[in-house]
Amino acid sequence: MEPEKKRIDPYVTWVANYCKHCFICINICPVDNLFFGDDEMASQQKCIQCLLCMKYCPDFALEVKSKKETSLAKKSSPDQEDSGVALPSGKKGGRPQP
């Protein structure tokens, strides 16, 4: 069975069926980003990607993307207009476009 994941922040994903509501993540967050409301994890949208919540969660219920991962994902987005790499010849490299 696939875990139920919910993106609660641009950087944070909560895996609901792994969480046992111990609140370690809420208590360890240095910017008080996480909170519990309406029986599910929520975010104040101020994650600084310190990764403490993910590191200390005993149930692996949080996934946090680092700033580097997030910026790489944005750069490699399929809806980006120019995804090719400039080659010395001046032509674009990368995947063939359909």
Structural domain contains residue 75:
no
CATH at residue 33:
3.30.70.20
Q: With 0.85 as the threshold, say if the pTM is over it.
A: no
Q: How many independent structural domains does the chain possess? A: 1
Structural domain contains residue 73:
no
Q: CA-to-CA distance for 78 and 81, rounded, in angstroms? A: 8
Torsion angle of the four alpha carbons 76, 79, 81, 87, in this order, in degrees rounded to the nearest 10: 30
Domain housing 2? 1-63
The amino acid sitting at 70 is T
Which pair of tokens denotes residue 85?
């790499």
pLDDT per residue as tens, the chain (98 positions): 788 899 998 999 999 999 999 999 999 999 999 999 888 999 999 999 999 999 999 999 999 987 666 555 656 555 444 444 455 555 555 555 55
